[in-house]
Chains A and B, each alone.
Chain A
Amino acid sequence: MNFDLRLPIGLIFSLFGAILTGYGLMTRGSAIYNPSLGINVNLRWGAVVLLFGAWMLWMALRARKPRPPGTA
């Protein structure tokens, strides 16, 4: 059996999300956000990426648990 692809997807996007949010937090109010219209896009978009990663991880882990008999 191949492994569940949701696991690496979940891992990499959680990691990217964490890096971006962390970096966004460290650079609040920095001039690097002038080109992006003053929006701290690292923080905002990083949170979206992190949520997606966590959701994928959750689905992958949920599927790993043995299911009680009788459920599909």
Chain B
Amino acid sequence: MNPSFIKLGSIDYVILIIYFLFVLGIGWALKRQMKGSADFFSSARSIPGWVTGLAFLSANLGAQEVVGMAASGAKYGIMQSHFYWIGAIPAMVFLGLFMMPFYYGSKARSVPEYLRMRFDEKTRGFNALSFAFMTVLSSGISLYAMAKLLEILLGWNFDLSMAISAVIVLIYIVLGGLTSAIYNEVLQFFMIIFGFAPLVWIALRDIGGWGVLKQKLVAVAVDQHFAPGTWTESWRHVGSPADNPMGVEWFGLAMGLGFVLSFGYWCTDFLVIQRAMAANSMGAARRTPLIAAFPKMLFPFLVILPGMIAVALLRDHHGGFALPLEGGSPNWNLVIPVMLGHYLPSGLLGLGFTALMAAFMSGMAGNVTAFNTVWTYDIYQSYIAPGKSDRHYLAMGRAATIVGVLVSVLAAYYFRRNTNIMDLLQLVFAFVNAPLFATFLLGMFWRRSTGHGAFWGLVLGTLLAVIHHGLTIPEHAAVGQAGGWLGATIHTYPSPMAQNFWTAIVAWTGCMIITIVISLCTAQNKTDQELTGLVYSLTPKPKEEIEPWYQKPVILGAVVLAATVALNFIFA
């Protein structure tokens, strides 16, 4: 392996070091404000909406986003932007308009805590434990992916790059808590924009513009026996799974990705919701996902487009562009970093690389801050040591941060030896939120749903997802991790992605039906008074806040949706 696929100059290191110093400086400057646990875990609800909005977007912009989206852009073309246009925006608008009033208005400090207020202790416990487990391992995945990437491209030492980034994240969270994580996420958001935009500009110019790229991608599509426009048209080839490289059809795409997976993630995952809960007013909390949606819908041009350009460059051997190989085929996960090295001179290269590292680190920080909150409030304070002083919980939050980072590091080493376990975990994480959205939908909009119903719906919904995965298999896959491990195969899906979408649909539908049936058979354990502020029909309409029209959530939501529909038409 070439030890230095990319060579950084001294000016690039200067930029990288300045960035690290700033990140630590922000943590240091916030240290004085961390007086109680509310400051540390929820920024004492003091952050303006534009900041929480950009952090909301950034917290999700970790490893898989930047690296994986470009890889998928190469493999699937513009269809990958469904993960943004139908797989994120509608759910973000729904969260801002309909769900945020309950999250923020209930004064719950976490998503699991909302579940306790609305349902019962066991539902909260189930969610808190699975969430804590998931965040720590996700943070480990992020860490592993970064160290691996730096090792391949720059020849950096795996242990050292992991140690440095873990220590930096650790320091700035221990010092400044959630506020520090949020501030650094916003900084990272601008780094990504300024680091990657010149890359897209130069690369697109090199290939001859969008028109030429479209022509070149025709050849890519035809090579793989698809219709000529498959790589540049997002909707025209979803009639049948055989017509597109994702192997999905429109119903699975719209229901599985556009509804279950997307609403399951954006509307229930505490990692992103925590940012909105830190906002300084109800209006700001509701605007958080809406503000995030504006840049979100344009992100395909920053992260997917480079992959589409790369596949065209590679086919023509244009300008000597090449990717490191992995198992005989190009390693698409390296598209963005290799393109950075290919097009950008020292100087901007440093900015681009720093942006990449920033993305990995804040992906990790997002998970760590969500973990320390759920651990301290929902597990430690609830089951292990209730009734201690606030200082005690603040100290526990700091300790949990250290433990969380340590576990992530251990997990990263473990994944290095067992990459198939990591693949399996990512598969599980992909549908673990799916049933949860049914629970929230019923919890917020149907007052009759009960704690027993919610709990069993969640448990059995998750179990159904596992069983579905065990009984089905994608085409050409070996029985085992890909599915079919329960012995019998009742259905063969055209692709792993189709299988994943349908697993989510099964989990959601199962959870929905089971929760309804069990709720009808059990008595409501909460009084109407207890449910006020938690359920739609029992909550007084939020009074109109006095805000200019451009800050009204309904107007922002309508504009976002209209723009997304327009994008879908333009690139249909």
Contacts and interface: CB of A to CB of B under 8 A. Distances in A.
A35 B194 contact: no
A42 B348 contact: yes
B345 A35 contact: yes
B524 interface: no
Given A2-B179, A12-B19, A23 B347 contact: yes
Interface residues of A, number: 29
A52 B189 CA distance: 14
Interface residues of B, number: 34
Given A2-B30, A23-B347, A49-B194, A8 B46 contact: no
A20 B190 contact: no
B18 to A, nearest CB: 6
Contacts, number: 83
Interface string A1-42: 111010011011101100110011001000011011101011
A45 B195 CA distance: 10
A11 B23 CA distance: 12
B187 A9 contact: yes
Nearest to A20: B347
Contact of B11 (A23, A33, A37): A23
B202 A39 contact: yes
The secondary structure that dominates the A interface is: helix
Nearest to B341: A35
Contact of A8 (B14, B22, B351): B22
B19 to A, nearest CB: 7
Contact of B347 (A1, A5, A11, A46): A46
B15 A5 contact: no
B51 A32 contact: no
Given A16-B351, A20-B351, A37-B202, A5 B344 contact: no
B205 interface: yes
Given A1-B46, A5-B51, A42-B345, 4 more contacts: A12-B19, A12-B22, A19-B15, A41-B344
21 contacts: A1-B46, A2-B30, A2-B47, A3-B29, A8-B25, A8-B187, A9-B187, A15-B18, A16-B18, A16-B194, A20-B348, A23-B347, A35-B344, A35-B345, A36-B348, A37-B202, A39-B202, A42-B345, A42-B348, A45-B197, A49-B194
